[in-house]
A = this chain, B = another copy of it.
Amino acid sequence: ELGHFEEDANKIKPEYVKSFLHVSKLMPSTWIVIRIDGCHFHRFSDVHEFEKPNDARALNLMNSCAVSVLEEFKDIVFSYGVSDEYSFVLKKESQLYQRRSSEIVSAVVSLFSSMYTMKWKEFFPQKELKHPPYFDGRAVCYPTSEILLDYLAWRQVDCHINNQYNTCFWMLVKSGKSKSEAQNYLKGTQAQEKHELLTRLSGIIDYYNTLPLMFRQGSSVFWDKQEEEEIANQGKDAVGKCYKVVVDHCNIIEKSFWEAHPEILGEKF
């Protein structure tokens, strides 16, 4: 039997078979952004009864996975997450997987997915994970840090717009409207009208701005300098380990954030 097998085996021409692989490399010296998005997360969040419009536990789980991704892939210098999406920025000079697009995207998505499943119990101790969570991903290159910051600002603006809409929508639903009534009500409303609606429905002045920053501005995950005291507490072993991955909910549209953290992009603004 095996003799037959080995006879067949010799007919295979691996070089020919391998020639069909088309390796797509990302342009050198450009910022690589890997953006991942939850697949069927509407269903996933229903099944697991996520709170609407924002579930803090689910967002903290996403952030915790992002921290792990940064700790594993040292070339990632910044990441930004909102809802079920996360964007990871690799430094311009990165040679991760020789900049092969498929490998970078798939490895990041895969690690994120594994972490999400492993850490589930930590964030949802009372809930069983009923379906496997999964994500798709893509890579985009940006030739300059200016355009990279435009990309990140775009994501944060989206976070704000979506959150404002969703906050109104769910407050209307909780006030007794049906989902389609709520949708119709909000059609065409401007930011200012939504503000006033929230104030009216909640009875709280400037209600929107009382919401947690994480809901309104999303989450930024990056390597940051530890306070000296914190280092001191860790004793001798901490020498040289003065950076750690932090989660923040800062405004990344304003230049001031980047000026205060020049080491993230390694460039001046």
Knowing A20-B142, A106-B137 touch, does A147 contact B29 (C-beta < 8 A)? yes
- CB atoms of A251 and B30 under 8 A apart: no
Knowing A117-B114, A154-B14 touch, does A36 contact B106 (C-beta < 8 A)? yes
- CB atoms of A22 and B27 under 8 A apart: yes
**Whole-angstrom distance between the alpha carbons of A195 and B5 in the complex?**
14
Knowing A6-B191, A109-B109, A113-B114 touch, does A136 contact B17 (C-beta < 8 A)? no
Proximity bits, A87-131, B CB within 8 Å = 1, else 0: 000000000010011110111011111111110000000000100
Q: Which residue of B lies closest to A10 (CB)?
A: B157
Knowing A9-B160, A29-B147 touch, does A134 contact B118 (C-beta < 8 A)? no
- CB atoms of A253 and B22 under 8 A apart: no
A141 is an interface residue with CB less than 8 A from chain B: yes
Residues in B with CB closer than 8 Å to A24 are 24, 101
**Interchain nearest-CB distance for A64 vs B (Å):** 12
- CB atoms of B144 and A143 under 8 A apart: yes
A242 is an interface residue with CB less than 8 A from chain B: no
Proximity bits, A6-17, B CB within 8 Å = 1, else 0: 101101111011
Copies of this polypeptide in the complex: 4
A1 is an interface residue with CB less than 8 A from chain B: yes
- CB atoms of B22 and A68 under 8 A apart: no
- CB atoms of A144 and B9 under 8 A apart: no
Knowing A1-B209, A27-B27, A208-B2 touch, does A153 contact B101 (C-beta < 8 A)? no
* Interface pairs A-B: 8 shortest CB-CB: A143-B143, A114-B132, A106-B137, A117-B117, A110-B134, A9-B157, A111-B134, A102-B138
Chain A contacts to B: CB under 8 angstroms: 1-2, 5-6, 8-9, 11-14, 16-17, 19-22, 24-25, 27-30, 36, 39, 68, 97, 100-103, 105-107, 109-118, 129, 132-144, 147, 150-151, 153-154, 157, 160-161, 191, 195, 208-209, 251, 253-254
Apart from the given pairs A114-B116, A117-B117, 11 other A-B contacts in the complex at a CB distance below 8 Å = A5-B160, A9-B253, A12-B157, A16-B150, A39-B111, A102-B105, A106-B106, A107-B134, A110-B137, A114-B114, A114-B117
